[in-house]
């Protein structure tokens, strides 16, 4: 987009209005990081579907679609006469006179104009359930990432800044937490907690993610602590809390943002795994639970697991691509490589 012909002459990028700076920055990002732009588009699509699920989904996710079974032995003429002549029911069997049957659910039917992706094992619209399942995925991903990032930043900042015995104790605790396989700990939480809910899954995933965030933040703080501006702040008598909040934290936001963005996709994938294993919230629509239902159908109806798996894959891919692009943009060591580092 070229603004050279504008009536107002701008001397530099900072002189332009805010909306023009946003447009130019967005265009430059899309040109330099096409895969990152694709990831952002996928994220926006998932977020839009989750926020406006009641409009995008077309149907209630719990609505069961049914059809009336047709009786092949029915004789319409005799059935119509039987309405006025009861003696006909004595002459002919009920199968001949019963032209209407009970409504039967449309179990895992193929895609159609009514059900774009078909129906699931119960007869519910698969497309609607995928759309509503995005809400659970985003809630778990964002919630767990916020918990892990918030506490990981605080613990990592304190550990690296003060060092000494405090740093040793914190890092040994982090080592212990990372020594256990994450899936084993999540399965243990599922056995200990009697009432598995969306909240408990978010908290447990967030706690497990604190350890990796602490490590990333600690390494960044150790590098920033030795900078000249930190030494100058200590020389003039600035307090430790002021140095950490005003001098160190603003200079380590880049790895924090990248870690936060990239971890969302991981938490979404782990939540789907837990739901697949039966450890998800039974009251919520989850992609992992839907994939498990499709697995039980087997080769006779592969569409159920395939469509849900595609939605899960594209969502996680979007966050991974966006996280990689942010890393390349925010990491000063990758600047000056033509804007295509990592692609």
**Does 208 lie in the same domain as 74?**
no
- Whether residue 160 sits in one domain with residue 288: yes
Q: Does the pLDDT value for residue 341 go beyond 50?
A: no
pLDDT on residue 133: 92
Q: How confident is the model at residue 254, as a pLDDT?
A: 86
- Dist. CA 318–CA 313, nearest whole Å: 9
Same domain flag for 80 and 228? no
In a domain, 21, yes or no: no
Residues 95 and 203 in one domain: no
DSSP per-residue letters across 71-129: -TT--HHHHHHHTT-TTHHHHS-HHHH--EEEEEE-TTPPP-SSSTT-B-SSSBBHHHH
**pLDDT tier, 86 (very low <50, low <70, confident <90, very high otherwise):** low
Task: Judge whether residue 233 has pLDDT over 70.
Answer: yes
Last residue of one domain, picked from the residues 105, 120, 153: 105
Q: Are residues 96 and 211 in the same domain?
A: no
Rounded to an integer, what is the distance from CA 275 to the centroid of its chain? 14
Residue 6 domain-assigned? no
Structural domain span for residue 188? 132-334
Shared domain check, 250 and 206: yes
pLDDT tens-digit map of 300-338: 677 788 899 999 999 999 999 998 888 887 765 555 444
pLDDT band (50, 70, 90) for residue 3: very low
Q: Is residue 25 part of a domain?
A: no
pTM confidence score:
0.79
Question: Do 93 and 220 reside in the same domain of the chain?
Answer: no
The verdict on residue 34 lying in a domain is no
CATH code for position 235 = 1.10.3720.10
Q: What is the structure's pLDDT at 253?
A: 87
Total tally of structural domains belonging to the chain? 2
CA 190/CA 274 separation, integer angstroms: 9
Domain shared by 90 and 149, yes or no: no
From the list 67, 173, 84, 195, the residue with the least C-alpha distance to 119 is 67
Top mean pLDDT of 100-109, 230-239, 291-300, 330-339 is at: 230-239
Question: 114 with 75: CB under 8 angstroms?
Answer: no
**163 shares its domain with 257:** yes
Number of C-beta neighbours around residue 89 at 10 A = 16
Distance, in Å, from the CA atom of 114 to the CA atom of 248, rounded to the nearest integer, reads 57
Q: Give pLDDT, residue 22.
A: 78
In a domain, 252, yes or no: yes
């Amino acid at each position: 987009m070229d603004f050279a012909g504008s009536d107002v002459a701008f001397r530099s990028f900072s002189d332009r209005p805010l909306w023009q700076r946003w447009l130019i920055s967005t265009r430059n990002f899309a040109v330099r990081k096409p895969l990152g732009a694709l990831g952002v588009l996928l994220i926006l699509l998932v977020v839009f579907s989750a926020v406006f699920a009641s409009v995008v989904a077309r149907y209630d996710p719990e609505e069961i679609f049914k059809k009336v079974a047709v009786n092949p032995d029915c004789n319409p003429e005799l059935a119509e006469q039987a309405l006025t002549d009861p003696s006909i029911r004595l002459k002919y069997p009920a199968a001949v006179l019963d032209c209407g049957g009970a409504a039967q659910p449309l179990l895992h039917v193929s895609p159609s104009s009514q059900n774009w992706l078909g129906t699931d094992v119960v007869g519910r619209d698969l497309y609607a359930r995928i759309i509503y399942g995005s809400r659970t995925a985003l809630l778990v991903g964002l919630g767990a990432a916020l918990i892990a990032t918030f506490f990981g930043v605080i613990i990592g900042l304190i550990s690296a800044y003060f060092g000494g015995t405090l740093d040793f104790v914190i890092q040994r605790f982090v080592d212990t937490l990372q020594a256990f396989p994450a899936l084993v700990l999540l399965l243990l939480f599922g056995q200990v907690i009697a009432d598995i809910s969306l909240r408990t899954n978010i908290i447990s995933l967030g706690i497990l993610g604190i350890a990796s965030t602490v490590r990333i933040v600690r390494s960044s703080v150790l590098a920033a602590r030795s900078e000249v501006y930190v030494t100058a702040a200590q020389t003039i008598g600035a307090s430790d809390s002021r140095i950490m909040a005003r001098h160190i934290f603003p200079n380590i936001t880049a790895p924090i943002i990248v870690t936060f963005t990239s971890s969302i996709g991981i938490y979404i994938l782990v939540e789907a795994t837990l739901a697949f294993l039966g450890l998800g919230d039974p009251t919520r629509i989850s992609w992992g639970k839907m994939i498990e239902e499709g697995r039980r159908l087997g080769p006779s109806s592969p569409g159920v697991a395939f469509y849900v798996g595609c939605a899960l894959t594209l969502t996680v891919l979007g966050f991974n691509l966006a996280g990689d692009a942010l890393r390349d943009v925010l990491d000063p060591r990758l600047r000056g490589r033509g804007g295509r580092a990592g692609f």
